[in-house]
Structure 1
């Protein structure tokens, strides 16, 4: 069997698995469990909603579900009461395990996901009733680390038992994952990290950077803090494990040297492991230390906005959601070099790391950063960008969804490749080769004037071709590019939908209103793709992405590079335009792609390198270039289409395993190649 045939079989198998699981006849059944409802609300709720929106059948199992919780969650999930309590309680253990075993036997879930210590342990005890289920332990932290002696041993054994009885363990970060392996809790084959780490990501509607100035003014007025006063902010439980002894000690020393400063302590006083009494008494008697007590989660962003530097000298942490939230508000971060926090930030790029339990090192950096506004500004900007890339809620929700699909065997990491044709026979050949989408181009308005001088294909297709292609395209999706917004667009789109298109793409728009018009006409009847190919559209991209009804976005390099006056379309890849747009699309949780891909080894910019950029930037789709068209009959594919298609897939598979260093090396090659091509064009 040839490598091409083997690869084709694998791809076809994956596509079949997707269809089997995600069909309406067999939704994925998932049970999501925490000990109490508050934990579910904070860390799982949005993921449960996202999975339900994607066709999963969701069951929620937890305790303390009040009317507000039920009203919110019963809209998309079944809610089952769990008689569990926090802490050690034998009665609730027995009752909870009984409820779980009964539910698991009856429902036969595809996935059972459990988080928080008690819920996880109870599920481990019930594992025998869900042998066919994927059992995922969301390990948000390790309780035994803070214990000693016999108590530490017992809680470590509970943790190990929970890991053993789970089929998969998800750690909050790479360093925490390695700690699990080193401690013998879990073999490396069983444990993984989703994305760069974390739990659910930051909600930008709460941590709204656009409100930062107003938030800052409100809090400073409320607490009588001057505009020029330098404010150190701490956000979390006030206990020794969070480094409060070191923080108060360092700040007290700082007050002997500087007058106009404040220490803002935002959070509840935790008596389970309280800070040193003498230090706390000093802080409470000081006019420069503000204890806010417990504040609603919705107000944390306001206190962060009022601060100039976040100081978080924790001894141990899961992945530190609070640091992600601070970075989302463009607050520079000073934290400790321990697993979790040291992975959220990049040292000397988005913040600074110091050793834990070291008040002198902490004092040194607090003073240095207070006196270095340029460095704080650098960390603020870089931190915000890092959160947008890796920890925004839509990004994390997509990562979680993709991870679960992978565990179910329904993941397909391949780029969705599109073949442009109006020829039914060509569509059949392309579909049989494994193409994901057949692309019918109906755009004619203004295209000849814009691209007539380029070596590109201008469409001569008609509305009649939609029905012709629909009759022969069965496995692939039929994507139709309509004309730009014009008086007859509604009639055109209605016909396209009526004749069977799965997806409609809007090209060459410049304003928010044009996009709004298109989305209102489609009105959710089929999926939509926006084709960004004008600089005017790029200028209002943030406003456009706020519109409801957008399913995917695509960057059209041909028209967009003309719009900017570039000489070569891939200049947009090297000058940061494509990356900037991809970051914005990713932050909104949208799938996106850009440009075209030639046969392996061909194209002015070799496709081998272009695929690397698609993977680096998180692209999910691309158009097969005209190198896949027959030179004699351009309406037909090349004779060896399937072999060339599989070569491309093989190269894509290789690139998927690259390290960050390899992607960076490829990016440098692309930049050098584009510069060379541009110089040749300009001669």
Structure 2
């Protein structure tokens, strides 16, 4: 079978697919990607062994360019003789489902990675809701990446219940438990990285990985760290990810990140290195306002880190409360208290970390998810 995946940015390829390509290639499938052009796309194609088509897929709405993209995706479907089309991210999913419906592709799968309208208001919220419902209507199946996304999708009447499914207990690709394993890492490399970043002078490192935007709770995290810093000069905040213009952080928070010598901001880090950044952390924090299913929390848990997160869609499924992590409100004061509790209790950190790895291994190992995906491919 020929499988055509449509995404709008190559950055997501290691997270949404990664070794999945090898698994399906070895089972006789032919994998293609449609994505906006980038050097990274070409590197990933060589690394993961897939063919690709370059089509400009904008995150913003542009009627002329979107119609052109639908035409080009339809052409890619014809050229690849696609038996299955999967659409990822709101815009990639919408355009791919339109094109696949026009081309009569028998299996059209919309991966609902989250509910972007949750934090939107007014006309923008209504538009995002309409886009999601249209993608779902044109799809033959809708994969919700977490139980809470599944539940909210039904509550908001995004599609018929018979259309949507959950892959095991969630995610779109599972977690590589061999890669995200402290026992498999080169500890001399960890120490060199610590020294390069200036982290070897701290004995407690609070970590975050992901997009540096308001929706991720970065404002609350930075303010919580400032509250703690005066009493605990031996703590650091490690922020791994890109500052983005969309949903951008306020200027005072960006300035604090750049000015504060105990806040280590790395910018974009290659996915191939990310496990070494988790290995430097003592605690992982994601005070997000919305998620699909936060892969970063599962990666951190696989790396035996205790987790602090929020009770929002996606995040609520990512920990076992008071076993692998705890929930906090969107408030810098309560976040600071939660961080301090872990700071003062090393045994609790280790206990939550061990529980977290078991939780991931038992429920989110990649082959569990890939077998579920294959069942979808074969539904005609």
Same fold (TM over 0.5): yes
| 1:140-219 superposed matches below 5 A | 140-204=113-177, 206-210=179-183, 211=185, 213-219=187-193
Whether contact under 8 Å (1:175, 1:339) holds in the other structure is: yes
Q: Taking structure 1 as reference, are residues 394 and 165 closer, same or farther at Cα in structure 2, changes over 3 Å only?
A: same
Q: How far 1:45 sits from its partner (Å)?
A: 4.5
Q: How far 1:56 sits from its partner (Å)?
A: 2.5
The separation in 2 between residues aligned to 1:241 and 1:256, in whole angstroms, is 27
Q: Taking structure 1 as reference, are residues 378 and 69 closer, same or farther at Cα in structure 2, changes over 3 Å only?
A: closer
Q: Taking structure 1 as reference, are residues 361 and 215 closer, same or farther at Cα in structure 2, changes over 3 Å only?
A: farther
**Gapped runs of 5+ residues in structure 2?**
none
Q: Which has the higher contact order (CA 8 A, sep 6+)?
A: 2
The separation in 1 between residues aligned to 2:285 and 2:178, in whole angstroms, is 24
Bigger-Rg structure (1/2): 1
Deviation sequence 1:608-632 (CA, Å, 0-9, x none):
xxxxxxxxxxxxxxxxxxxxxxxxx
Q: Taking structure 1 as reference, are residues 159 and 218 closer, same or farther at Cα in structure 2, changes over 3 Å only?
A: same
Deviation sequence 1:228-252 (CA, Å, 0-9, x none):
6211112122221111121112111
Q: How far 1:369 sits from its partner (Å)?
A: 1.0
2:245 paired residue among 247, 271, 275: 271
The separation in 2 between residues aligned to 1:70 and 1:372, in whole angstroms, is 45
**Gapped runs of 5+ residues in structure 1?**
1-27, 409-683
The separation in 2 between residues aligned to 1:106 and 1:288, in whole angstroms, is 53
Match of 1:311?
285
Whether contact under 8 Å (1:135, 1:167) holds in the other structure is: yes
Normalised TM-score (structure 2): 0.89
Whether contact under 8 Å (1:173, 1:340) holds in the other structure is: yes
Match of 1:379?
352
The separation in 2 between residues aligned to 1:298 and 1:48, in whole angstroms, is 16
The separation in 2 between residues aligned to 1:187 and 1:169, in whole angstroms, is 10
Normalised TM-score (structure 1): 0.52
1:392 paired residue among 359, 362, 365: 365
Match of 2:230?
256
| Residue 43 of structure 2 corresponds to residue 68 of structure 1 | yes
Whether contact under 8 Å (1:35, 1:119) holds in the other structure is: yes
Q: How far 1:346 sits from its partner (Å)?
A: 0.8
Whether contact under 8 Å (1:37, 1:65) holds in the other structure is: yes
Q: Taking structure 1 as reference, are residues 278 and 164 closer, same or farther at Cα in structure 2, changes over 3 Å only?
A: same
Q: Taking structure 1 as reference, are residues 293 and 39 closer, same or farther at Cα in structure 2, changes over 3 Å only?
A: closer
Match of 1:614?
none
User: SS of 2:172's equivalent?
Assistant: coil
Aligned residues: 377
User: SS of 1:135's equivalent?
Assistant: strand
Deviation sequence 1:70-99 (CA, Å, 0-9, x none):
4446x5x55444343343233332222223
The separation in 2 between residues aligned to 1:226 and 1:102, in whole angstroms, is 53
Q: Taking structure 1 as reference, are residues 386 and 37 closer, same or farther at Cα in structure 2, changes over 3 Å only?
A: same
Cα RMSD (Å):
2.5
| Residue 302 of structure 2 corresponds to residue 328 of structure 1 | yes
1:230 paired residue among 182, 188, 204: 204
